[in-house]
A and B are shown apart, each in its own frame.
Chain A
């Protein structure tokens, strides 16, 4: 019995329990005694008993049986070292799953050699790996058989459990049975479970990256990662001394911070000024048109900004600099300036909406007082509102900076891939996020430092942005409480 069949069967039993339970509980009504719970709760409780334990068992069983089959396979393969054993195991697994695709008649009298098997499989559109050996066929067949047997028994047990649950649930139906309380307790646990997903995600992020990072640090010392100034992930010689300094974080970190700085230099003045204008000067009709238009900038996916920088703005700036100064362009098509400018525009709505909230939280009385003493509007903004809102604005800038540091698509397309250390904003530099993407696209193996370094970079990025967010959120919250 396949997993899906079992699942559908259990669901069907559950639905049947729901229907029967409800109609039984309804017939209780006729007896004249008021039942504790309404009929649908009795039905729902029966359904919960029918499906819940059975599904849990099914999940546990399938994990357990997958493990068991894996063990059976790896004890069946004979290989020299642990590493080749792992490859052989995965080959057998691949073979087993492709054998399952064959027609039943072919499966019954399977050829004993890979040579004879290959044409049968290729007729089904499956290609076997080159290293698959003859002795693997019986192992794979045995594994398939064990998996099938385990699937059958597990499915039967689960369905049996489901029927038993349904019967227990139905037998509990009585006038004074507190079915609603039970159902609601179960629901509360489900709701609580959903809310813990946030914690699980954080734990998952940290743990998954931590393990890979630790594996990376076995090959490369943390010192040369965090303080190395050369990024060149190609391993020149196996275990050579020169390999140590090649995963230097410094050029990437410098590029990330430089581009983020340029972006902030664009986004903060423009965003802040437009927020001030919107809240202090703009008339209502202007605001209703311009505000959504500026927010459009926030709704555009970052890849669109990246492509605009790559195919329009970058070449245009390069040609412009060449035309203005004659001869060689001094702005490269992919440069810190281009990437920072485009990212800054992307961040304008972030800054302006955050500062808008903060500016409107400044009490009206302070504004009125300043205007009443004869200050102009701009003096009120500069001398009263902005100083009062300063902590909040600092928080907003920090939040924006963390967005700029974690931004990926714009820099992948517009910032370049060469890990330079330069102070010239018109040259290309690369960032942490670009390198994460570069190291992880294409074919990858999970045990080479070239791949694992991406997780070390990711963990660094995660902690840098996390620290900025925590500080920023704390500042913003403190600031809000000040005026409440």
Chain B
């Protein structure tokens, strides 16, 4: 072998002139395409953030309520001038409690009883509900008569909004709902520690009301709970039974095909159509009462049923055939195979699907509007046949009110609704994670 001289005269190929194969353009297109994808995701997430942010910023103040604590004297001379309360208990119910609250406030603010103009302006500070509150106190405990008690009363919605800084004070006084004198009093009371913000328990206990400070979601939540109970009982039971039949027993024939096509289509039927069904069948044909939680629950069950059936069938199909074969080989009947072996193994999947279906039913509004649940319901429904309303419907009704205090409560109610849904969805995810099995 001879060594090759490193610098021999082998021809060195010259670098060819670079051909433009458009690589730069193609990479630019690639980068653009990727940017579109990022932009799409950023768009969606930004919208989500803005939406949640705007609702939370409008609604978090709903969880506080301005209260005014005043020493109220249950003056027998004012409440029962003819001293008949022992013989006629209705005197205590009919007495003028408004005056009582006003006197307490006037005493605190140092407004003279004959100053008519100031007395009138003072009326807008306390909520009208203080009358009922004082009445209920005295009726419950007649021994209070003649005594002086510190009572914490709700401030009116306007004062509440003003105290939270939601009313634009630069607007001329004549076009504002809160007058300068009221603001001055408000600040004076706040300085004395009489007017304070407390946690708004009323938001969770009150029902519909024309006064923002005494309206809450309590009644609507009870209605929603009734409906969820009915949906859970009906849709879970019927849905699981139907899925078991279709997945484990049904012969491959026309009827089965028809049922399957039906279920797939029902899952895509607009929810408002279920409302029309509920109205025509349950209310018009069967004569059930309008606004009843029972009708709402059954309607929502029909709407949720396809979701639950589809989830349950997927869960049943995921159980491997070897489980069924093993049980059959040991002498179990087909019914025993399903109920003793397949169903327990499919349970986590079924529960996940059910919770997701329930969450959808909880947030559903449109069908409930049609069956008359847009009702002004102030009392708790004691049975599912009583008039009731639902949380999203209550939100819808508040959305028609322009007052700032109602917007605040509506946003607060949305926060609560979203919190409910979040808890349900997280439960579903945790369930799935915890019990998911890979075969």
Contact = CB atoms under 8 A, between A and B. Distances in A.
A302 interface: yes
A430 interface: no
A196 B425 CA distance: 29
A20 interface: no
B328 interface: no
B268 interface: yes
Nearest to B23: A376
A202 interface: yes
Nearest to A309: B51
Interface in B6-38: 26-27, 29-30, 32-34, 36-38
Contacts of A120: none
A171 interface: no
Interface string B330-346: 00011100000000000
B366 interface: yes
Interface stretch (B41-49, B129-137, B316-324): B41-49
B389 to A, nearest CB: 13
A281 B39 CA distance: 13
A343 to B, nearest CB: 12
Contact of A408 (B241, B245, B366): B366
Nearest to A269: B40
A294 B246 contact: no
B335 A188 contact: yes
A184 B339 CA distance: 11
Given A197-B238, A212-B280, A406 B399 contact: no
Nearest to A437: B369
Contacts of B58: 311
Interface string A427-457: 0000001001100110000100000001100
In this complex, the interface size class of chain A, counting residues with CB under 8 Å from chain B, is 35 or more
A310 B58 CA distance: 14
A441 B367 CA distance: 11
A191 B245 CA distance: 5
Interface in A387-417: 399, 402-403, 405-409, 412-413
Contacts of B414: 304, 307
Main secondary structure of the interface of A (DSSP, over half): helix
A433 B306 CA distance: 22
Nearest to B267: A469
B364 interface: yes
Given A191-B245, A198-B305, A437-B370, A303 B259 contact: no
Contact of A465 (B36, B41, B269, B364): B269
A340 to B, nearest CB: 14
Interface string B219-245: 000000000000000000111011111
Q: Taking each of A274, A403, A441, which has the highest tally of chain B beta carbons within 10 Å of its own beta carbon?
A: A274
Interface of A: 180, 184, 187-188, 190-199, 201-202, 204-205, 208-209, 211-212, 269-274, 276-278, 281, 290, 293-294, 296-297, 299-308, 310-312, 345, 348-349, 376-379, 381-382, 399, 402-403, 405-409, 412-413, 433, 436-437, 440-441, 446, 454-455, 458, 461-462, 465-466, 469-470, 473
Interface of B: 26-27, 29-30, 32-34, 36-41, 43-45, 47-48, 51, 54-55, 58, 237-239, 241-246, 249-250, 258-259, 262-266, 268-277, 279-281, 284-285, 302, 305-306, 309, 333-335, 359, 362-366, 369-370, 372, 374, 392, 395-396, 399, 407, 410, 414, 417-418, 421, 425
